[in-house]
Amino acid sequence: MADQKRYLWMDVLKVVLALMVVVQHTLSGAWMTLAPGSGEWRFISVPFLLSRLAVPLFVMCSGAGMLAKERSIEAVWKKNIFLLLKVYVSWMAVYGIREVVIACMEGDRDIRVLVNMILKSILFGQYHTWFVVMLAGLYMITPFLCRMVQNREHTRYFLLLSFVFTSILPVLGRIEQFDRAYAVIQDMDMQFVVGYVLYYVLGYELAHHVPVRASRMALGLEAGICAAVSLAVWLVCDCLSRASGQANQEILAELSPATVVLCVCIMLLFRRLFMGEGRRMAAVAALSRYGMVVYMVHPLVLWTLKAPADALGLVYAVAAWGISLGIAVVVAKVPTLRKLFSMV
């Protein structure tokens, strides 16, 4: 029960993140095509830009859970990577079957071509499945990271290096006066500390080693900081987009400093906001177990709903999330489907 209460805030966050992912994939087309600076574009900019944080925050939550205890190589492969790949293959087969059905409706019934469609779907995935492959890669190095995070000094040193090489230096590399120096620094090839591993380890650090006490003043301060940073990011994005005449989301690139800072603010805010919650939020937190199915199935739902490329897409996003959640519940209730399509 203590562990359940400890991670309740994280489960609530995961439920919100699942919705944010659907919002991002629903509004991306409208945000990129509407005129920057228009009222409709600015209206959807708020939910769309916030949705950009969903995947990094998901990775932070995964790191907080996976690195909380030492895991052997064998255990990670059997309990995590194999299960993840099994779910991936099952869902990609479904997407492949969808393509086969469409091809048959259009008159293409060549067996070799149809089988190839399914195999290509499994081998190359869909536009959203890069996350699954990236997560599998993080799982592969989890046994090393579990040992590292047991040492506070090593963990903080790793985070410092990762933040510098992942977020800061690439930004400086775009500055003309620094580009030659950045080219030299790239020769260091610091691949172990760059990429989403920053969020993976950072999530563990924030969840387990940053002290948080229940305080209305502290909660208000953190909410204020989060709102101020979000507003600043929105203003910069708005200015850059209007100046170039096209939507510009570079400030919230996956590994940008602004994205890292906002993710830290949001994770700490949720931790403080729900740290003392019990039964009242337990029902919401329980929905987090369906997150992977929602992530895998929602493009099928969006494809069926055919959301418009305007602000109304936000309503379609909520509807698609609800339908995807319903599908996830059905999958969890049927043993055969649960074994093939769910991480639960």
Residue that has been written with the tokens 């997407």 in this structure: 95
Which tokens sit at 80? 């995590």
Tens-digit pLDDT profile for residues 96-145: 999 999 999 888 878 889 999 999 999 999 999 999 999 999 999 999 99
Give the mean model confidence (pLDDT) for residues 313-341.
Answer: 96
The upper half-sphere exposure of residue 43, i.e. CA atoms within 13 Å in the direction of its Cβ, equals: 10
Q: Are 71 and 281 in contact (CB under 8 A)?
A: no
Give the mean model confidence (pLDDT) for residues 315-320.
Answer: 97
- Residue-level pLDDT at 1: 37
Cα angle, residue 322 at apex, residues 276 and 249 outer, rounded to 5°: 80
Sign of torsion over alpha carbons 104, 109, 111, 114: negative
Tell me the percentage of the chain whose pLDDT exceeds 70: 97
- Residue-level pLDDT at 193: 93
For the cut 50, the answer to whether the pLDDT of residue 3 exceeds it is no
Task: Write out the DSSP string of 295-326.
Answer: HHHHHHHHHHHT--SSTTHHHHHHHHHHHHHH
Question: How many angstroms separate the CA atoms of 57 and 291, rounded?
Answer: 13
Please give the helix or strand (H or E) that residue 63 lies within, else none. Answer: helix 54-66
Question: How many angstroms separate the CA atoms of 29 and 52, rounded?
Answer: 14
Cα angle, residue 87 at apex, residues 14 and 93 outer, rounded to 5°: 125
Cα angle, residue 185 at apex, residues 199 and 252 outer, rounded to 5°: 35
Question: Residue type for 276, please?
Answer: G
Which tokens sit at 203? 């999530």
Question: How many angstroms separate the CA atoms of 86 and 76, rounded?
Answer: 14
Q: Are 236 and 282 in contact (CB under 8 A)?
A: no
Cα angle, residue 82 at apex, residues 21 and 124 outer, rounded to 5°: 55
Tens-digit pLDDT profile for residues 62-107: 999 999 999 999 999 999 999 999 999 999 999 999 999 999 988 8
pLDDT category at 211 given cuts 50, 70, 90 is confident
Tell me the percentage of the chain whose pLDDT exceeds 90: 79
SS3 percent helix, strand, coil of the chain, rounded to 5, is 80, 0, 20
pLDDT category at 277 given cuts 50, 70, 90 is low
Q: Are 51 and 259 in contact (CB under 8 A)?
A: no
Q: Which of 19, 71, 23 is nearest to 43 (CA)?
A: 23
Tens-digit pLDDT profile for residues 218-269: 888 888 999 999 999 999 999 999 999 999 999 999 999 999 999 999 999 9
Q: How many CB atoms lie within 10 A of CB 144?
A: 11
Which tokens sit at 130? 């890069």
Answer whether 0.85 is exceeded by the pTM. Answer: yes
Which tokens sit at 142? 């989890």
Q: Which of 95, 16, 68, 107 is nearest to 296 (CA)?
A: 95
Residues in the chain: 344
Q: Are 289 and 325 in contact (CB under 8 A)?
A: no
- Residue-level pLDDT at 312: 94
Give the helix ranges, DSSP H, for 110-250: 111-124, 130-140, 142-148, 152-163, 169-172, 179-186, 197-209, 216-244
